[in-house]
Amino acid sequence: MKKFYNFPEGFFWGSASSAEQSEGKGNTGKGKTIWDHWFEIEKNRFFDEVGPDVTSDFFNRYDDDIKLMKELGHNSFRMSLSWARLFPNGDGEVNEKAVEFYNKVIDTFIANEVTPFVNLYHFDMPMAMQEKGGWESKKVVKAYANYTDKCFELFGDRIERWFTFNEPLGPVLGGYMQDFHYPNVIDFKRATQVAFNTILANAKAIRKFKKHNLKSKIGIVLNLSPTYPRSSNKYDLEAAEYCDLFYNRSFLDPCVKGEFPKKLVDTLKKYDQMPEYTKEDLKIIKENTAQILGINYYEPRRAKARDNAVNTKSPFMPEWLFDTYVLPGRKFNQYRGWEIYEKGILDLCNNVKDNYGNIEAFISENGMGVADEARFIENGQINDDYRIEFIKGHLKYIHKAIEEGCNINGYHLWTFIDCWSWMNAYKNRYGLVSLDLKTQKRTVKKSGEFYKLLGKNNGFED
Ligand code: BG6
């Protein structure tokens, strides 16, 4: 029997993107980011050797793009500000042309009744700051806090929801553990320093924010994956606990509760992987926690006790304490290699409800990147029923989470128009709207039509 999934009044429907992945360079004199730099020196590591120079040219096309969002059921959208655009050297004087650009963008959102959620950092470290040590350096933490302070001053009168970071775990994993972000270091101790400093930067930005006495709220967007043990065997359970500590609670606990999990700290001490910090740092983290939480959910993590003994000559990694494994017969996105497990979103929301004070939250990313979508064109439109199914599958569980008392107030799909991905460039397409890279032509996909009705009806029937 069909059911109509009705969402609470005022639910935020929309999508998300980031500056580096959609703006293009523009003409404000944007400073180089680590992505511009890495692309310059190692093009071959980017799919089809496409870099972030042009992307979908939001810089020049924001007006039409925002109107199209409105048309396709959006009442909100998460954008990010580019630190390197506003401060080409990372610090010093703000770039007035960049301010003018973001003022126009924000005003256009508001004029179209699409509420902008603003994220302050989405993987895009200014190269000048990376040269000073990136997140390993306390000087960079300070520069970031000053940058955010300026943003609150400049745009704070119009923004209702701020986010300090998108997925701070990403640069830790990519840049210092697994070699998929610049600076391509493999060193867990440096990774923990980067993680700690990012958490401190988040807290310092929140501290600055509070000084502005704005009516708006600030929080952080985390990529969370519910962690499932293979069995109830005690070593499988312990493995899952470690996996959860390193990859979820490492950020979730300090950012929402202001404290690091004791077992994580003990483990880092045991393996001599502790970052450097001061008591004052811990105090700042304790006193400046998130007021709202963005949850990015793509895939679960499945953990089991390690099959083999650790090679203690290899660099320390959290995986010394667990193995991840593939669920036989899992549903998965073959283009990205990620498991699709819709119920995971319910488990995540319940975890936040039960263990993190039911903090006001929203699903800040969820989506499906598919390669070669042109093969699905029918009558000039990409017939992406798989994406519609993906969205509905997750929304049903979000609906259930809300029924169970979870404080979830919105859903943002990744993404609106096909965007540039970090190393995959335009290999996998995530958008509700397809992009012809050569002509910049936008064409609404079938999922875009679905989204239009979703927003209009504040829910869907299935
Ligand atoms: C999220 C990021 O992790 O996943 C986005 O916040 C990213 O920036 C998205 O694009 C999809 O991942 P990918 O690597 O396929 O682009």
Q: Catalytic pick from 23, 167, 241, 342?
A: 167
Q: In what helix (H) or strand (E) does residue 385 lie, and over which residues does it extend?
A: helix 385-403
Q: Is 170 exposed, middle or buried (0-12, 13-18, 19+ CB in 10 A)?
A: middle
Domain count across the chain: 1
Please, which pLDDT band fits residue 345 given cuts at 50, 70 and 90? very high
Q: Residue 151: its pLDDT value, please?
A: 98
Q: Token pair for residue 42? A: 């190692």
pLDDT digits (tens, 9 = 90+) for 39-66: 999 999 999 999 999 999 999 999 999 9
In this structure, which amino acid lies at residue 89?
N
In this structure, which amino acid lies at residue 279?
K
pLDDT digits (tens, 9 = 90+) for 195-215: 999 999 999 999 999 999 999
Q: Ligand 1 centroid to 11 CA: how many Å?
A: 24
Q: Residue 393: its pLDDT value, please?
A: 98
pTM: predicted TM-score of the whole model, two decimal places: 0.98
414 touches ligand 1 (CB under 6 Å): yes
Nearest protein CA to atom 2 of ligand 1, as residue: 167
Among 20, 79, 167, the mutation site with the greatest number of ligand 1 atoms within 8 A of its Cβ is: 167
**CA atoms of 113 and 124, how far apart (whole Å):** 28
Distances (CA, A) of 287 to 69, 127, 269, 295, 352: 37, 31, 24, 22, 20
Q: Ligand 1 centroid to 368 CA: how many Å?
A: 10
Please, which pLDDT band fits residue 306 given cuts at 50, 70 and 90? very high
CB–CB of 21/124 below 8 Å? no
365 is catalytic: yes
166 touches ligand 1 (CB under 6 Å): yes
131 is catalytic: no
Report the length, in residues, of the chain.
Answer: 462
431 touches ligand 1 (CB under 6 Å): no
Q: Give the domain range for residue 26.
A: 4-461
CB–CB of 75/15 below 8 Å? no
Q: What are phi and psi of 233, to 5 degrees?
A: -55, 140
Of 439, 134, 460, the closest CA to residue 447 belongs to 460
List residues bridging with 378 in a β-sheet.
381
Q: Residue 172: its pLDDT value, please?
A: 98
CATH number at residue 272: 3.20.20.80
Largest Cα–Cα separation, the chain: 63
Q: Residue 337: its pLDDT value, please?
A: 96
82 touches ligand 1 (CB under 6 Å): no
Mean pLDDT of the 87-93 span: 98
Q: Residue 67: its pLDDT value, please?
A: 98
336 touches ligand 1 (CB under 6 Å): yes
421 touches ligand 1 (CB under 6 Å): yes
For 145, the 3-state DSSP assignment is helix
Average pLDDT of the residues of the chain: 98
Q: Residue 168: its pLDDT value, please?
A: 98
Q: Residue 449: its pLDDT value, please?
A: 98
Q: Residue 438: its pLDDT value, please?
A: 97
Q: Ligand 1 centroid to 353 CA: how many Å?
A: 25
In this structure, which amino acid lies at residue 454?
L
Listed in sequence order, the residues at least 6 apart from 409 whose beta carbon sits closer than 8 Å to its beta carbon are 8, 10, 11, 12, 360, 361, 362
Q: Residue 209: its pLDDT value, please?
A: 98
Please, which pLDDT band fits residue 165 given cuts at 50, 70 and 90? very high
Please, which pLDDT band fits residue 332 given cuts at 50, 70 and 90? very high
Q: Which residue is associated with the tokens 């064409």?
A: 443
Please, which pLDDT band fits residue 379 given cuts at 50, 70 and 90? very high
- Count of beta carbons in the 10 Å neighbourhood of residue 413: 25
How are beta strands 115-119 and 459-461 bridged, if at all? unpaired
Q: Residue 267: its pLDDT value, please?
A: 98
